[in-house]
Structure 1
């Protein structure tokens, strides 16, 4: 795959606090790359360095064959977490203004704006001022502003925040469509279910350092062991005797058994006691949400790990 963005050994400190250290990853043409981490992990600092809002103390950022201040940022689209459109300006005027800042032809920008407004159920809103829009509508307009100039690299910081389920589906479809047509996408989000559904690869930061980097499938195989959820009133002591069980969580009316790595689910299920009450049973891999919580909270319960990072 063509490498669109390369971040190498990035480091940034504010006064005596090291915010990110030795951050390295790549984003390829036509892929959705997720950058994850708890609040304060260094995601926004990394993104702001890429966008040239600030510059790193260490390391380098390459966009295709350019780096540093020479990066042509008119070829990059950016949806910031902090939304910010001029409230008293009409929708079409703000979209054309932002397209012009990116050196994009205004006739093409107007055509694309009308197409996207229709696609996002905002047809007829082009002459409405931004302050008259609902929060969700405003977010759609800002998303359109980030892609109106046909960027080669699109950086999305919490794009789904505050959206209703229907609007989330619209955004998901459009993000996938952009990637399918060759746009490299760097996606930051706390909604792990959406990231797990969409991302080709992921990079997770914790306390400014890399902890996970790889394809979604590789991360699942490396980190996400199987778990078995049994709904029914059962004595956990009866289940403690089962082989290949790392730990057991008991909730009201259900029991979750976290299984050892490389366990064979088909063989393991045959060992369940015959007198077990099973109203419902589900066996699947630990979710990205659970991996995120485990790392962010320093529980380290999902898998025995060596000191340092998990690399998939």
Structure 2
């Protein structure tokens, strides 16, 4: 007699595919793989061309007739030139300052407004919420915005790059939805212990909402770093241009890079880098900060968006 203990148990792997879904065919898998490879190539190939061109010498660019795909040595003269002084170096500092100040101010205003609007008993709750949501449907337009900015004396100031876009209603709604999902019993117990609204926000809400705030902070930072249209409208002084405004004038308007003009006298570098290499180096400089910051926030991205956007 064979006992049940002697019979080997066969463990079946649980398929993650639903029972009603047909297994993929070899042709379908090949088509999906080909499509993914093409999409990745469409992103990486231009980035590779920009990076290689920024590191190429004048002879390599002339031989390629433009953008370089195959590197033939490394020439850092374009980067040395743009960081040796002049408009580009100043633009990088302006963009960094605007991004840091703008992200800090935007997060502070958005969190405070979202917390106030998430409390149903707050003063003017419905009216203020309707006022914010109304901006989804009605946009004032460029002329009224320009008149307001100039009327407040912000023309030709870096605050004109920050204050007009200080609060995003979409980000406010996402954080408000997360705050409303926090159990009310937790807040009531804090109030019983004598905590005020600011203490509740600082000690309870913010630690619980680190993921969603990290994602919203990334949205704000990338938005401020990539913004150039406000600089086109409100800035006349070239010394106050952010890096994206400089890039727009170089790439789209076809202007020549305004660098310090000091020749590069380092071993293995050309004295005067080609204009195309300098332009591509500016493109790389504008992309690198977002590439560096994103991996640190990526683990919070999915959790923050799902937690803040789905109620239940």
**TM tier relative to shorter chain:** under 0.3
Higher helix share: 2
TM (normalized to structure 1)? Answer: 0.25
Asked which structure has the greater CA Rg, the reply is: 2
Higher strand share: 1
TM (normalized to structure 2)? Answer: 0.25
